[in-house]
Amino acid sequence: MRHFKLPLLVTGVALLLAIVVGAAIVTSIHRSKTSGARKLERAQKAGGAVAGITIVVIAPFWLIAAARVGRERRQARDPTSRRGNQLRR
């Protein structure tokens, strides 16, 4: 669990920021003087962009944490690894 503290924190902050940014964008689109179909199209594109950016920000933290956990588990399983033997003591 210790490897996932930073990814959880980053995820929480990024999701809150995405909600705030998304709400601001939707509000500005709603207040614009364009047609309903155009507003819907713009809101869909903006939502996709915000979601994509959020995932690009969050993903590296989770991938790095998962790699660390996997590396530790492999080292703990490998009896020839010097680091693996230190973890078992």
The answer to whether residue 9 sits within a structural domain is yes
Report the pLDDT value the prediction gives residue 87, as an integer from 0 to 100: 53
Q: Total domain count for the chain?
A: 1
The answer to whether residue 29 sits within a structural domain is yes
The answer to whether residue 7 sits within a structural domain is yes
The answer to whether residue 84 sits within a structural domain is no
The answer to whether residue 89 sits within a structural domain is no
The answer to whether residue 50 sits within a structural domain is yes
pTM for the full predicted model: 0.77
The answer to whether residue 86 sits within a structural domain is no
Report the pLDDT value the prediction gives residue 89, as an integer from 0 to 100: 46
Query: What is the span of the domain harbouring residue 15?
Result: 2-79
Please answer whether residues 88 and 30 qualify as being in contact, where contact means their C-beta atoms are separated by less than 8 angstroms: no
The answer to whether residue 58 sits within a structural domain is yes
Mean pLDDT by 10-residue block, N- to C-terminus, for the chain (89 residues)? Answer: 90 97 95 91 96 97 94 86 54
